[in-house]
Amino acid sequence: MASAGVFEAEIIATGDELIYGRVLDTNSHWLAQRLAELGVKLRRVTMVGDVREDIVDAVKGALGRRPTFLIVSGGLGPSEDDITVESLGEALGLGVTLDPEGVEKIRGVYLARGITEEAALERGFRMARVLEGSKPIPNPVGFASGMSVEWGPTTIFTLPGVPQELKAMFDTHIAPRLREASHRSFLGRTYEVYMVWKEFFPLYREMQRDFPEAYIKNAATPPVEGESREEFHLIKVDIVVSGETMGEAEENLERLVSEYRRRIQSTSGGWIKEVHPRKRN
């Protein structure tokens, strides 16, 4: 899919729980969907454990590719293995400080709960760590502060790994910035194509050739041994298009699917229909 004029992003998901397969990385999946809706093309997702040098390497590698946005998720909690801020600081050569508003929020809640021990408060204040010169991102549903850092052509965002906190902070503070900056909207749908097997791939490649600006990807399963290639098969096809607005993206998708349908009917017949079609307003 052509990317000219499209803002690009990378995600770095941190956490041993991800590396060891104890937790599914649903955050990156959700972020990928939201970025597409906001017209930002996600180029890469990197997963690393709670190892400082690995996070530093991942950050430096991402910045070397010069994405418009870099989102780093996880590692903002109070535990000793929550080291995202320090690792990011090492990668950028920036010191670590505390977000004053985050500190006061944590102090107020802790004291209201009767938590007055200095050690407990200091541990809680770890959730207010940010880098010097960064802009803190408030957490509307939790304690951990995020931040944004301008680094050359890249804006870096940090978000906590707790899904409800990550989503709330992204939608409240980051999505409006991305929406204002981006001039494209992406729209993806999954379709079922029913047609003669031997005719599917020639037409599929023809559609890819004639619509180079779209992402068209099949999930075809070849016929089993002894099954005729002359028979009709059901094949899933993912299609992603873009437009300057979501309305234009809808029109582009409708145009592509209509042409795909017309060409299917010009073969031995068949159809294309959306899987789990969404209700239109």
- Per-residue confidence in pLDDT tens, the chain, 281 aa: 444 457 899 999 999 999 999 999 999 999 999 998 888 889 999 999 999 999 999 999 999 999 999 999 999 999 999 999 999 999 999 999 999 999 999 999 999 999 999 999 999 999 999 999 999 999 999 999 999 999 999 999 999 999 999 999 999 999 999 988 877 788 889 999 999 999 999 999 999 999 999 999 998 877 767 678 889 999 999 999 988 888 999 999 999 999 999 999 999 999 999 997 654 43
The rounded distance, in Å, linking the Cα atoms of 162 and 101 is: 20
Residue 231, Cβ neighbours under 10 Å: how many? 10
CATH 3.30.300.330 occupies which residues in the chain?
185-274
Q: Which residue has the tokens 């910045």?
A: 63
Q: Measured between alpha carbons, how far apart are the two ends of the chain, in Å?
A: 28
Using the 8-state DSSP alphabet, how is residue 127 labeled? G
CATH 3.40.980.10 occupies which residues in the chain?
8-181
8-181: CATH number: 3.40.980.10
185-274: CATH number: 3.30.300.330
On whether the CB atoms of residues 253 and 277 are closer than 8 A, the answer is no
Query: Coil, strand or helix: which one is 227?
Result: coil
Q: Which helix (H) or strand (E) holds 37?
A: helix 26-37
